[in-house]
Amino acid sequence: MPNVDYLFTEELETVYGLLSDAEADVADAVIIRLLDEHESAWARQNRVVGDRGSAWIIEFRHHRDSFHLYWRYLDDETVVLLVLRRVREESAGP
């Protein structure tokens, strides 16, 4: 059971629905760890700031693909899972 409340955006839900079962298993493990360890250095190692505020990014891998999970705090007790993006790796050869 997570030690924090959480919400997720419609965009994240849409992308999550396109993941394979294996990719979803990896994403689930990352999300569970984030909700348990949201105050840790692991969860807060990468941060971006833009016009609409800031967010932290957790990068994780599944085979040759990397994924970026963007998240932020709504308030002191709630984590918002904002966006999940696939970052395809370039192949090394033909």
Domain residue extents for the chain:
5-88
DSSP single-letter state for residue 3? S
Q: From residue 57, how far is each of 1, 21, 82, 91 by CA, in Å?
A: 22, 22, 10, 24
On whether the CB atoms of residues 85 and 68 are closer than 8 A, the answer is: yes
> Backbone phi, then psi, for 69, in 5-degree steps?
-105, 115
CATH of 5-88 given 3.30.460.90, 3.30.2310.20, 3.40.50.300, 3.40.50.150: 3.30.2310.20
Q: How confident is the model at residue 90 (pLDDT cuts 50, 70, 90)?
A: low
What is d(CA 56, CA 79) in angstroms, rounded to the nearest whole number? 11
Q: Is the pLDDT of residue 3 over 80?
A: no
Per-residue pLDDT of 7-33, as tens digits, reads 999 999 999 999 999 999 999 999 999
Per-residue pLDDT of 42-85, as tens digits, reads 999 899 998 888 999 999 999 888 999 999 999 988 999 999 99
For 62, how many CA atoms within 13 A lie in the half-sphere containing its CB? 17
Torsion (CA) 38, 58, 48, 8 in degrees, nearest 10 = -70
pTM for this prediction: 0.86
